[in-house]
Amino acid sequence: MAKNYKAINWNQVSDAIDKATWEKLTEQFWLDTRIPVSNDLGDWRTLDSDHQWLVGHVFGGLTLLDTVQSEQGMAALRKNVVTQHETAVLNNIQFMESVHAKSYSTIFSTLNTPEEIDEIFTWSDSEEFLQNKAVRIAGMYMDDSVDPLKKKVANVFLETFLFYSGFFTPLYYLGHNKLNNVAEIIKLILRDESVHGTYIGYKFQIGLKQLSEKKQQDMKDWMYNFLYELYDNEEKYTHLLYDQVGWTEEVLTFIRYNANKALMNLGQDPLFPDSAADVNPIVMNGISTSTANHDFFSQVGNGYRLGEVEAMEPGDYNIKDPNEK
C-alpha cells in the first residue's frame, strides 16, 4: 500500500485532451426529463403496429447496451487509466451512460402501455442476438485477464458501431419530421457518444503506439477479426428487427458505415466499402444537424445554451505519438 494518496490537481494536467474532454462533456450535459416527449404522441398514433413494435424494441436493445456501459464499461476502463484526470472523465461518462439508459424509459413511459413496456424488457433480457453482443462485450469488461487495450476496442466498437442498428429508426423518423422529441433525445445521446468514442479511441492509440511492431500487428489482426464476429451477429439482429418493415438493407449499410467510423476512432483503416454517400440521406441529415436549442438552463439563470455544442469530428483530436518530440 502506498504511503500517501495523491490529490487530483487540475492546474497540472499532463494530457490536455483530458481537460478538453471534461470541458466538452460538462458543457453538453443534459437530462431526459427536460425533453417534452409527450408532444410526439400524435405522430406515434399514426404508426401501424409493426412500426410501433420496431420503435419499442430498438429502444429496448439500446437500453441494454447503455446498461452495460454504465454498469461495467467505464468501471473496466477506469482500472487502467494513465492520468487522474482520465478517471474524472470516465466518471462523467459513466454517469451519462446511466442518463442514456434511463432516457429510453422516459420514452417508453410516454408512448407505451405498461404491458408493452414489460414485454419490451422481457424481450431485451432474453433476445438471442441482442444478448450475444451485450454478454460478449460485458464479459470482456469483467474479465481481468483481458488485455486493457482490447477492452478499449470493445468499448469503441460498442459505442460507435453496435448502437447504430438502433439509432437508425429515430433518425429515419426525424428525417420524415416525425417523433421529433424522441429523436432529440437520441441526438443528445449521439452527441455524447461522438465524444466518448473519440476520447477512448485516442487513449487506445496512445497505448497501441507503445507496443512493439509485432504486438501492434497482433492487436490489429485481433481487432478486425473481432469486428467481423460482431458484424456477423449484428446482421442477424438487424434482420430480426427490420425485416418486417423492409428497411434491413439500408440499416446494414448504415452500420457498416459506422463500423468504419469506429475503426477510424481507433486510428485504423476502414473495413467496408460503404461511405456516407451510400447511407440514406434522410438518416445522414438527422445525424449531422445540431440539436434543437431547448435552452434548459437559462430557466435557472446560468445561461447555458445546450444547442450550441456541436458533435465532435475525428479531426478534433490531433493524435501525436507521445514518444515523439
Tell me which residues are annotated as active site.
104
CB of 187 vs Mn ion, minimal distance in Å: 13
Smallest gap from residue 192 Cβ to Mn ion (A) = 6
Q: Of 63, 191, 44, which Cα lies nearest the Cα of 113?
A: 44
Q: Which stretch binds Mn ion (CB under 5 A): 84-92, 185-193, 215-223, 252-260?
A: 185-193
Count residues near Mn ion (CB under 5 A).
6
Binding to Mn ion by residue 151, rule CB under 5 A?
no
Sign of CA dihedral 29, 263, 142, 130: positive
x-or-dash string of contact with Mn ion, 86-105, rule CB under 5 A: -----------x--x-----
Residue nearer to Mn ion on the CB measure, 44 or 137: 137
DSSP output for 137-166: HHHHHH-TTS-HHHHHHHHHHIIIIITHHH
Closest CA relative to residue 17, chosen from 209, 198, 210, 264: 198
Residue type, 254: F
Angle of helix 49-68 relative to helix 114-124, nearest 10 degrees?
Answer: 50
Counting every residue written for the chain, the total comes to: 325
Helix ranges (H only) for the chain are 16-27, 41-46, 49-68, 74-78, 84-111, 114-124, 128-142, 148-157, 164-175, 180-209, 213-242, 248-265, 281-288
Nearer to Mn ion, 100 or 256 (CB): 100
Q: How far is the CB of 100 from Mn ion (least distance, A)?
A: 4
Q: Which of 85, 133, 196, 294 binds Mn ion (CB under 5 A)?
A: 196
Site for Mn ion in 52-71 (CB under 5 A): 66
Give the shortest CB-195-to-Mn ion separation in angstroms.
8
Site residues for Mn ion per CB under 5 A: 66, 97, 100, 159, 193, 196
